[in-house]
Amino acid sequence: MVKFNRAIVEATLDHCVAYKINTAFYEAQGRAGWDAMEQTLAFIPSTHFTIADAKRGDIGNTSAQYAKTFFEVLPFDAITVAPYMGEDSVRPFLEYENKWTIVLGLTSNKGSEDFQQLALANSGEYLFERVMKKVASWGHAGNLMFVVGATQAESFKPIRAAFPEHFFLVPGVGAQGGSLEEVSKLALNREGGLLVNASRAIQYASSGDDFAEQAKIVASQYHQAMKTLLQQSGL
Q: Kindly list the distances between the CA atom of residue 213 and the CA atoms of 17, 32, 202, in Å, as whole numbers in the listed order.
A: 19, 27, 10
Distance of alpha carbon 44 from alpha carbon 52, whole angstroms: 13
- What is the C-alpha separation between 115 and 131, in angstroms, rounded? 11
Span between the terminal Cα atoms of the chain, in Å: 37
Q: Catalytic amino acids?
A: 55
> By the 8 A CB rule, do 110 and 180 touch?
no
Q: What is the distance between the alpha carbons of residues 37 and 162, in angstroms, rounded to a whole number?
A: 36
- Name the E strands within the chain: 18-22, 49-56, 78-81, 100-106, 144-148, 168-170, 194-196
